Amino acid sequence: MIIFYSCSLLNLDYFRTMILGEINLWGLVIREPGTIISDFIMGFFCIAFFVKLLTNSDFKQQEYFAQFFLLLGLSSFVAAFAHGLHYYFGIYLHKISWLLAGFATYFLELGSTLLFNNEKFKSKFIIFIKLQLTIYILLLFFYEGFIIVKINFVVSLIGILTPIYIVDMVKNQVKHNLYLFFGIFLAIFPSIFHNTEFNFLYIFNMNDLSHFFLILCLFFVFLGLNARFFKSEDVIPKGLLSK
């Protein structure tokens, strides 16, 4: 009797169908409950980082970093509903989530212009990231797929921001930037394993586990930004690309 009951509790096929697939709640079809949970957790962490940075902000430009976490948190919340209610809304809620993520990345890049003393270069850089955002939005309208979000994220973090903060660390001897680099390094893992078949205890698939990696990534990004721009006595000791 006990053995039969234990086996019924460990009906892994049932749990896989319910958690990784969909559930029917009083006629409402909810898909991927595990992804909903992980999206909400990531969203709450982002909002917590947003509140922390906003309360520490003394300069308007530094609020761009807080807005990065706010928009990324909203993107995660929308993504939770996009996954859960995919049966009713299809790809449309996903695109809203991806759009918010694109604007979040834009504000992260925009806040980083605080490191530039060369106004001419700063103006050109802002034009460049606005063009990047425009192209990203257009691609979202014409193509369906999370790959666009991942490419934009990689271009922004590795191709644009990493060189900026490397120069900042070398020129100004800012060790806080190591937090940022570690966070960016951690972001590589969810990008690689995002669409694999791996799952944890038949509850969280790799899509969900990638969210937990991203939470850790964002935590280190938060530590780096908070230490570099909100706690330093002199935010820009020498600046980059001086006049």
CATH of the domain at 119: 1.20.1070
* The total number of structural domains that make up the chain: 1
C-alpha closest to that of 209 among 224, 197, 194: 194
Q: Which domain holds residue 107?
A: 22-230
What pLDDT shows up at residue 83?
Answer: 86
pLDDT by 10-residue block (mean), the chain, 243 residues: 40 48 71 84 95 74 87 95 84 93 96 90 95 95 84 90 91 86 81 57 63 88 86 51 48
Q: Answer whether residue 242 is part of any domain.
A: no
Direct distance between the N- and C-terminal alpha carbons of the chain, in angstroms, rounded to an integer: 81
Q: Is-above-0.85 flag for pTM?
A: no
Q: Answer whether residue 99 is part of any domain.
A: yes
C-alpha closest to that of 155 among 139, 168, 174: 139
Q: Answer whether residue 7 is part of any domain.
A: no
Amino acid identity, position 83: H
Q: Answer whether residue 11 is part of any domain.
A: no
C-alpha span between 40 and 37 (Å, rounded): 5
Q: Cα 241 from chain centroid?
A: 28
Strand partners, 230: none
Q: Answer whether residue 157 is part of any domain.
A: yes
Q: Answer whether residue 203 is part of any domain.
A: yes
Q: Answer whether residue 185 is part of any domain.
A: yes
> What are 172-211's pLDDT values in tens digits?
888 888 999 998 888 777 666 655 555 555 555 667 677 7
Q: Answer whether residue 236 is part of any domain.
A: no
C-alpha closest to that of 75 among 98, 91, 92: 98
- For 186-224, letters b (16+ CB in 10 Å) and e give bbeebeeebeeeebeebbbbbbbbbbebbbbbbbbbbbb
